[in-house]
Amino acid sequence: MKFSKLAAAAAVLAVLGPASAFAAETVSVQLVGERGGQMAIKLDKTEVPAGEVTFQVANVAANTPHEMVVIKLDKPGETLKVDPAKNRVDEKKLMSMGEVSDLKAGQSGKLTVNLKPGAYQLICNIKGHVAAGMVATFTVKA
């Protein structure tokens, strides 16, 4: 029995499903804000399916360094506690999935991680930045 290339491709898709089910998700992240002012983490999407996720991170601030840390939460709606003595979150007490650190103004970087379903927060954990608003909620669906 002879199969055409098209028939072979159709047979593979029938067994494996569409190729997009295996494609990694990409999330564009902008780190925004200057010292002494309002700061934010802006995402082009706040929800992705479980699996490999690449965060393309750009520090669009004019003068202020930033970072992005991916934190797995124990439950949706959990609030990260800022240590008042250090004015930052104690990452040792959390489940960090990885980070893009030390981005000077205008720099960019990327992080690729395999994420399981659940609630996450993306934070800039430079002193004072979480308190200034650099927290974004992120969901990974099954």
Residues of the chain with pLDDT under 50: 1-3, 6, 8-21
What average pLDDT is seen over the chain?
88
Give the H/E segment covering residue 12. Answer: helix 5-16
Q: Which residues contact 51 (CB under 8 A, 6 or more apart)?
A: 24, 25, 114, 115
Q: What is the pLDDT of residues 8-24, one digit of tens each?
A: 444 444 444 444 445 68
Percent pLDDT > 90 in the chain is: 80
Per-residue DSSP letter, 11: H
pLDDT digits (tens, 9 = 90+) for 58-81: 999 999 999 999 999 999 999 999
Alpha carbons 128 and 86: distance in angstroms, whole number? 8
pLDDT at residue 24, rounded to an integer = 86
pLDDT for res 9: 46
